[in-house]
Structures are given as C-alpha cells and as structure tokens.
Chains A and B, each alone.
Chain A
Amino acid sequence: MKEITLTIDGKVCKGSHGDTILTVARKNDIYIPTLCYLEGLTPIGSCRMCVVEVENNPKLLTACTTPAQDGMVVHTKTETLHNYRKQVLELLFAGRNHFCMYCSQSGDCELQRLAIEHGMDHVRYPFLYSDFENDATHPEYQVDHNRCILCLRCIRVCAEKVGAHTLDLKDRGWNAKVISDLGKKLGESDTCVSCGACAQVCPTGTITIREFAYRGRRSDCDDVVESVCPLCGVGCKIKAYVRTGSIVRVEGTTTDQPDGGQLCYRGRLELPRSTERDRVHVPMIREGVYYREATWEEALSLIAENFKTAKEADKAGALVSSICTDEELSVFSALFKDSLGMRRLDTFDGDILRGFRKGFEPFRQQGVRPFTAAHNILKSDCIVNLCADPDEEAPVVASYMRVAALRNEASLINVSSGKNPFEGITDVDIRLLSPCGDPCLLDSITKVITSLRMSEEDLGKGTEALNDYRNYLEKTAALVNMSVEEVEQVILKLANAKKPIFVLGSNVSKNPAVVQAGVNLAIASRAFFEDGIGIVPLVVSSNSLGTVNTVLAEEPWLGKEDLDFLYVFSTGMIPEDEESLSAISRTKFVVVQTPYLVHPLVNMADVLLPAPAWYERSGHFCTIEGERRRLNVVVPPKGEVKGLASVIQEFASALGVELGSPKAVPCEQLFGSEKAPETAQMVELEEVSL
C-alpha cells in the first residue's frame, strides 16, 4: 500500500493510500470527535461531528468519509470547528426530546459526553417538542425515538453485521425515523432476531435493553472482564461488567472484530440472568424427598463408598457437561480414565460429537483439519446450509450467513427437510426427506462436480467425464425431485464458486456418512481456507470440540444398561435431554454436581454438590471460531463453592487413588493442521452406492 504523508494539527502524519483523514488521525493519536462513525461499519458522515478544515479547501470536510491525500494540511481543533460542532450538538438536543435525567444511558451516552465536552450548558435554539413515540413493543428492547440522533449505527450494524436488515429509515429531515421491516414496531417485526446489536452500538439512550437498564453505568462498575460465552459452539467473546459482585451487563466486543462484536439474544440476555438463578450453596444428601446439608467430607465419603461397590461390579459411570474448560476436562479424564480405568465417561452431547468425529476421522488421518473458523463464512461466495438451523443452533453463524448472502452477494443453498431457515434469501432450496441429510445426494453432487472438473481440465477423458457428468446430474435430479436444468444451476454455482463453505447442523452427525460426504463435497468443490477445509460443524457448546480428545466415549454407553453409580456434572446452562435424564433416573446412586438448582436434574440426585458457575471459573474453550478462547473468572466463587479441580482431587483422595497429571491437551491436537487443506483427498463412502 502506498504510503502518504499529511500534516494534521501541525504534526506530520503517515498513512496509507485509501485511508480517510479520520483513519490517519487515529493512527497518529490525534483525537477527532465522532458520533455516527463506528470502526467496522460503513462511514456515512451524517452527524458532522468529525468535520475538519483542510487548507485550500473552503468547505468543512467530514474526516470519516474524506480520503486523505498526500500533502494535505488538516486542522481539527480550530475555533470555527468547535463552534460548528457545538451548534450541531445543540440542534440535536433541540430537535428531539432527550430527557437525560432519567435516561438509563446517561453517563454512558456518547451524545451527552460530546455535549459536555463542548461546553453545552444550554441550548440556544427553541426546542421543537415534536411528539416522537416510545416503542416499547419488543419484550427485551425499547426504542425511544425521542432520543434518536439518526446516526444510523443501528441500521448499519443490523444490515452489515447481523444481516437481518430489520431496521431502516422512514421520512426525511427532522421527522426521519428508524423503523422495523416496512414501518412496523420492533416488537412486531418478523425479521428481528433480538440479538441486541443495535442496542450495543446506539450512542444514546434510543435503543436500550429494558431489563438491564439502570443496573449501573459502565463507569459505576468495579470491573470489566473479557471472557467467552459458553452457550453454543461459536464461543463469542464477551465483556462482562461487574458491580459489587454482580454481573450487570454483558456486551460483545467491537464492530471492527471479525464477528462484528455481535452476541445473540442468548449471550446478551441469558448470561447476566444466569447470575440471578438459585444456587446450590453447600453439599447436600438426600433424605426421602428432602435434602439435608452435609459437610464435604461426609458427602465425599458417601460418594466414595457407593462408587467403590459400583466400580467393582462394573456399574459406574460419569457424565460431564461439554461447557467445561479444557483444563477441567483434562482433570476429569485423568481421574476417571487414567487413574480409575473407567470406560464409562462421556458428555451430554456425546452422540453428536461421535458422529462428527467419525465423519472427520479419515481426513484428520491425512493431517488436514476438516473444518474452518466460522467467521470464514464471510469470506465465502457460496454457502451450503446442510440440515442446520443456525438461528437456533448458533445464531451468530446465521448472521454470518445472512451477511454473506445479502451483502457479499454469496450464493446461499439450503439443503434440509424442515422449514428453510433462510427463506427469502436462498438461491436454491433443496428439500430432503430425512432431517439428518442424505449421503447419496451429497455423494452424487460430489461426483457431478468431480466429473465436471475432469471434463474442464480435459485430462484426456473429457468426453467420458462429460458423460459421467450428465449421468450423475440426472441421478441427482431424481433424488431431489427437481429438473435436470435446475440441478445443473446448483452444481454450476458450487463448481464456479471460489471459496464455498458448508455449514453442518448437529442433526447431520446422526449419520457420520453424511459428515464424510459433506467433507468430500467440500474437497470436490475446492472449499479450502487457510486453516482447513470449508466446513463449519455446529456443535452444541463452547467446548464441545474440547471433549473429543478427553471425556468423549468411543461408543455410547448411557442408557444401554442400568448403572449403580453415576457422577453427573452439569453447568446448568443448557437443559439436559430427555434420554440422558431417563438414564440418570434409572441409576441406583446419582451424584449431581451443579452450580444451579437445575430441575429436573437435581431431583435425581442422591448427593448434590455445589459447583462454580461459568462466571466463577477459568480456562480455555475450543470454539468453532477455530480459536482456543480464554474463559476468565468474572466474579470469584463464594462460600462452599470449590473449583472443579480441587473437588476432583478430593474425590480421588476419598477413593484412595493417585491423580496423575492430565495427559490430554484437547485443543492443540484438534486445531493442528499438518498439511495444507488443498492436499486433502476424498474418501470412499462405505454405505453409499448409487
């Protein structure tokens, strides 16, 4: 990139060709006030706070949209500019009804901060007192149009990062108004995904999170801790605000990050709410329908006693949540597998992970990583949704897919049996009979593409390949009850794509052959990214991937036979499935360790042990964003809540076994890619024949 030099406020500043004046100023630590600008969103220069003077130019220019040019002489702090900016601020206050005194964002508000910075001790213009409505129709978010400054950050983040395009602008001038869909109230919108990105970027108190209003300004908080959301496989980075030991606000990072600083409704709303749930505070032992409090010693010795008998009869098992950190999973693995030689150790989402593992295994053996970071969807030009419902399974992935399709003009192909989760924005929607995918279909498409490539490359068997191509094309069309022409269009989209990507729903894992066929198709369509093959598997939780090398069983055992002892660790963040619960209920002696009084799980427990909640623990998660992300202690545990590692250590002592140092290092093996993805070879599918 060509380097340019300009003078800003007398300082010689370096920048790159294509930078705006604002970018160069920020790179050189020169402050220019901004309001509508947000790094990562398209600059629009609407608020006019960032105006600067450029010598030999009679006009005031907006720094956020004006390209910097070599040799420019820029002034950012003149009296003219100060007065102009102050006037802009006063007009913003006069035009709407801000009511700072009871606004939940007062103190955090960027408009207020700038007005105070500019010495606005009154407003020189008459207030308009236009009657703007307060839209309180959405259960979680309030849109008070009285406080809107029309910076359009919400509209831009909704379009550019979330891809929902829910918000837009209606009317002109003073009367312009942010609307949902085509003039609906936010609560009535069909497209809003309730992620709250708009509330996070709103510089004023216009869009606010209703339930978390008034819990403390950012500046009132004692601490801001960066951590990871545990609620789905994406593992979004979060910022948790803490005030006198309580989490009062959870936010995403910033819009310039690969994920756009997004969180979904679950991360934004459920995480802080989880700090208010009923906790298990002390060990408890069942007596009839009730529990009585017990000491750790008493509880652990009762557990050890029951465990030993069950272990001798080979009727003991342990089930742990996949929302454990790598470090915790390693300790579990060290105790149950290494020290006790137990074969029955698993996680709640074991079946899903076993399916994915089995499907991926042949490719991992080749030394390539059979999946890629989820945000690479944004780099793709053709996305295949394979039996996934991302809005449910991993909402931020759904955002990536919408943005890729709507803004990056990527093709979006949906292959599923149920309702198309991307109705209205898919290029092709292929209906299946089975909810977990069809290996024959994928294999058939793979073969069509392979033969097409062969014919194009004309490796001496062009005609033959083209025959194969037509042959498989017809078979594919028959499988999905579509015309050959239609199927050809799909195939061409995929074959012509430069970087296709495949999003695999967790349902797919029920048939590992589909997973395998999916990877084959990705290889055939050259879905190669720097970090691996273009597959995004939607696993259940933030560290599901981390269980693969640690606690995940080779074969399922839960529910196969009635056991005498089961240790269950639940984080209480994702409800247990009915099958697991039913197997637990048929066990003679059950130990449940959990932070919360999770029903009905705690009803099954003979001994109940407290555990630290997600915000009281630390360690690492292996996320489908392809990163090992760090979970940090947001609020330290209190009372009798002990860390998992020390509980396991004490449990081991009670059993009289030595706890070796953990062997498994989950993520490194999983995320390592020895060979370039391009070297991956397709594998023959066992059970598929056309």
Chain B
Amino acid sequence: MAKVKLATVWLEACAGCHMSFLDIDDRILGLLEKVDIMYSPVVDAKEIPKVDIGVISGALGNDEEVHLAKKMREQCDILIAWGDCAVFGGINSMRNFMPAEEALKKAYVDTVSTVNPEGIIPGEDIPQLLPKAIPVDQVVKVDVYVPGCPPDADTILWVFQELLEGRIPKVPAEMMRYD
C-alpha cells in the first residue's frame, strides 16, 4: 500500500502542538511506516505538493499566514486544524481587542529595556499583521478539528490512525480538551 502523504504547518502559534505530536514518543516510528511526512512545516506555497492530509496549527495573524492556509487547503484532501489557535484563534486573539499598531508600539517602543529613540516599528521585508488573529476556518474549510492547548499526544495519534483506517474522525468527549 502506498504511504499516506502528510504536510504540517504552523502559523501563529507556539509550536506546542508539534511538541505534543513528538510526545507520541517511540510510537512515531510505527506511524512513519505508514505515513510520509512531506513538509513540516511547509515553507513556501509553491513547494507544497499534493498531499492526502494537511495539518495546520496556529491561528491566522498576518497576510503570509492567510496565504499559506489557502495554499495548504488547495493542496490537501483532508485538512486538520490542530490546537486551540487553529480551531478557536487561541491566545493570539487576546490582541484582537486593541489596534495592531498599539500592540506593536508597546513591544518595540515602550518596554523598559527597548532603546529605540527613533520609534522604529518593524515592518520592512516582513509580513504585515492582520487587524485580528482569527481561527483557520474563517478563511478555509477545515475537515477535522482537534482542539486543545495542546491536544494530547494520544489524541493526535488517534486522529492519524482513524484517517489511516479511512474514517474522518471526530474527537470524542473523553479525548477533547480546550486547555
């Protein structure tokens, strides 16, 4: 049987979901017998090949992330949203209550250790912030949702196993968490 092709990406997130994935520990070796991890994380939309399963962790917080989410959707058959950030927006959406400029000014001008007499705000050659950090499914259709901050390793593995068995999984109550 041909191996299932997988691509994962993280957008606006802390990487905790990918760490939780690694917490399946030695079971990853068994998984890799059935799955080819093509890109993780994907770097450029043009580079994403057609895959069977795409995974997005993280919210959408800047223009590049929106672009990547759309490309991922185009290139995969089944799209999984991993973690609270992808599913609900997560902790990133705490900045949604203030203008992006205010948040940037706080971080790059106002903090006590910053030495920035000219008041430079980064923005050159780097992606521009969206006014709000939003969940993935506000931009693209998501097929499987795995909430959690992060989801348990067992849950992440279970979702893959279900997909490998040809089922579209829905995380059951006993595995679901939001924290």
A contact set with B: CB distance below 8 Å: 93, 97-103, 106-107, 112, 115-117, 119, 121-123, 126-127, 129, 131
Contacts and interface: CB of A to CB of B under 8 A. Distances in A.
A126 B138 contact: yes
Contact of B84 (A100, A117, A126): A100
B97 A131 contact: yes
A100 B178 contact: yes
Interface stretch (B18-26, B34-42, B112-120, B168-176): B168-176
A101 B90 contact: yes
B142 A103 contact: no
B81 interface: yes
A121 B137 contact: no
A103 B91 CA distance: 11
Listed residue (B93, B172, B178) with the most chain A CB atoms within 10 angstroms of its CB? B178
Contacts of A131: 97
B119 to A, nearest CB: 26
Interface string B108-152: 000000000000000000000000101101100010011101000
Nearest to B89: A127
Nearest to B91: A101
B88 A122 contact: yes
Contacts of B94: 97, 99
Contacts, number: 62
Contacts of B87: 121-122
A117 B173 contact: yes
Contact of A100 (B134, B171, B179): B179
B178 A119 contact: no
Interface size for chain B: under 10, 10 to 19, 20 to 34, or 35 or more residues? 20 to 34
A97 B93 contact: yes
B97 A122 contact: no
B147 A121 contact: yes
B88 A129 contact: no
Among A103, A119, A122, find the residue whose CB has the most chain B CB atoms closer than 10 A.
Answer: A122
Given A100-B179, A101-B90, A121-B170, 13 more contacts: A93-B88, A98-B178, A100-B84, A101-B84, A101-B179, A102-B179, A116-B177, A119-B172, A121-B146, A121-B171, A122-B87, A122-B147, A123-B135
Report the 9 A-B pairs with minimum CB-CB distance, sorted nearest first: A101-B149, A100-B178, A106-B179, A121-B145, A131-B97, A122-B145, A129-B96, A116-B176, A100-B179
B142 A122 contact: yes
Contacts of B146: 121
Given A100-B179, A101-B178, A129-B93, A119 B173 contact: yes
Contact of A119 (B90, B91, B132, B170): B170
7 contacts: A102-B91, A107-B179, A116-B176, A121-B146, A121-B147, A127-B89, A127-B93
Contacts of A99: 91, 94
Contacts of B173: 116-117, 119
A364 to B, nearest CB: 57
Interface string B70-101: 00000000000100100111110110110000
Interface in B27-82: 81
Contacts of B170: 119, 121
A126 B96 CA distance: 13
A301 B97 CA distance: 70
B135 A122 contact: yes
Contacts of A101: 84, 90-91, 149, 178-179
Nearest to A97: B93
Nearest to B131: A129
A112 to B, nearest CB: 6
Contacts of B179: 100-103, 106-107
A481 B135 CA distance: 72
A129 B178 contact: no
A112 B149 CA distance: 14
A593 B98 CA distance: 58
A123 B137 CA distance: 9
A100 B149 contact: yes
A93 B134 CA distance: 14
A100 B179 CA distance: 5
A508 B96 CA distance: 59
A115 B178 CA distance: 10
A99 B147 CA distance: 12
A491 B46 CA distance: 91
Contacts of B89: 127
A623 B145 CA distance: 54
A97 B172 CA distance: 24
B97 A121 contact: no
Nearest to A217: B179
Nearest to B174: A116
Given A101-B90, A131-B97, A122 B178 contact: no
A186 B108 CA distance: 34
B148 to A, nearest CB: 9
A129 B97 contact: yes
